[in-house]
Chain A
């Protein structure tokens, strides 16, 4: 009984992550690339919050590794960031669930700042590049995106009864 329930909706979860990765790789005009939301991390935050027993640190690590290859970063960079995000979310999902959407969005903003800070610190050692303020923009756009994404994914989750 439990195992049947646990398996339900794996396709939806995987599909949503695939969509997130496609959105990450989608080419945008130059002015917009720095504003692209951090798709995979926010999808991860949602699933960690909604079904913490199924999506957790292991999944986060694997997704991070995929991102590393896609971005052709040093292996382990995104993986570390994603693991930390998953950990924070797993420790706060009780509170997050009862927050109003706006407050949730601010929390997501804070989590993504932590993520980007980790990325930033690692890239100091691996890449010589000049970063300006737009480096932090994905956190902002993700914050504004969060309420819509939350409602969308919640409806999807309820429809397919994923717990």
Chain B
């Protein structure tokens, strides 16, 4: 009896110290990535099981649509396709021109970003946080900090990579900040999440900044994590308080953060490597 209690005490101390040192290391250093990814590989089957019924429901709703809706959909998609391809023609001309001009300026031109479609896995992670799990991982080349977008805008970035799945931190999470700029005048700011589903806060914009409700906010590409030029949100509300030095700006994300089932993982900045090498060389000299 007493022996058991003593051993429980020892174990409590041992495992507590182990937990606390784990926390300390995980917070400050990067050593535990392998531990986490291997545990998440063990956990993935469970998440897969949780996701199954939702997948089945979706499958049923897809396979039980009527012929009429299919035909309507088809009609609509054809129209959309026509519209988009005509826009794309113009875009291609512009892109070629842009590249030519950039070559004239001798600045590195932007390559097309490589993308991969991933599917959301319907699992719950944690209340008060905004995170989702996607079904692509190390196997497909996902990496920590990789940007994730959907058809309408930036969704977030990958924070943990497992073998078959990864965790994405959404831009609305209170721990997420994103360097952005106004599309209209290039004014730079930082969009910080605050835990609400469809709200971001723009911080450090002075009261007299040239901003209007409805302005489009795009990613600025500063910080080199997100590709530049992807839409982030639209300004929804501006509160000017003369006693505060910064304006309170709320933006509404354009990405369908709660509705998208399919997302795009982006491999941006293929030219950045050469750029950093150049910088490094310059620094050496």
Contact = CB atoms under 8 A, between A and B. Distances in A.
Contacts of B127: 33-34, 36, 134-135
Interface in A29-86: 33-34, 36, 56-58, 60-61, 64-66, 69-77, 79-80, 83-84
A57 B11 contact: yes
A96 interface: no
Contacts of B32: 75
A148 interface: no
A72 B128 contact: no
Interface string A100-111: 000000000000
A128 B50 contact: no
Contact of A77 (B8, B23, B42, B122): B23
B126 A126 contact: no
Contact of B46 (A18, A74, A125, A129): A18
Contacts, number: 123
Nearest to B49: A22
Interface centre among B11, B43, B129 (most CB of A within 10 A): B11
A122 B11 CA distance: 21
A71 B39 contact: no
Contact of A75 (B36, B43, B159): B36
What class of interface size applies to chain A in its complex with B?
A: 35 or more
B23 A74 contact: yes
Contacts of B22: 75-76, 79
Interface in B15-31: 15-16, 18-23, 25-27
Nearest to B23: A76
A128 B175 contact: yes
A57 B8 contact: yes
A21 interface: yes
B39 A76 contact: no
A76 B126 contact: no
Contacts of B35: 75
A22 B50 contact: yes
B125 A129 contact: no
Interface residues of B, number: 43
A72 B160 contact: yes
Nearest to A132: B128
Contacts of A71: 125-126
A78 to B, nearest CB: 9
A27 B5 contact: no
Interface string B198-240: 0000000000000000000000000000000000000000000
Nearest to B24: A76
A43 to B, nearest CB: 14
Given A27-B54, A58-B15, A65-B39, A130 B124 contact: no
B157 interface: no
B124 A72 contact: no
B43 to A, nearest CB: 6
Given A66-B39, A75-B22, A80-B20, A127 B12 contact: no
A134 to B, nearest CB: 8
Nearest to B160: A72
Contacts of B122: 27
Contacts of A21: 43, 46
Contacts of A83: 12, 15-16, 19
Contact of B43 (A26, A34, A69, A128): A69
B121 to A, nearest CB: 9
8 contacts: A26-B50, A27-B123, A69-B160, A74-B23, A75-B23, A80-B20, A87-B8, A90-B8
> Which 4 pairs across A and B sit closest by C-beta, in order of nearness?
A76-B22, A76-B23, A80-B19, A76-B19
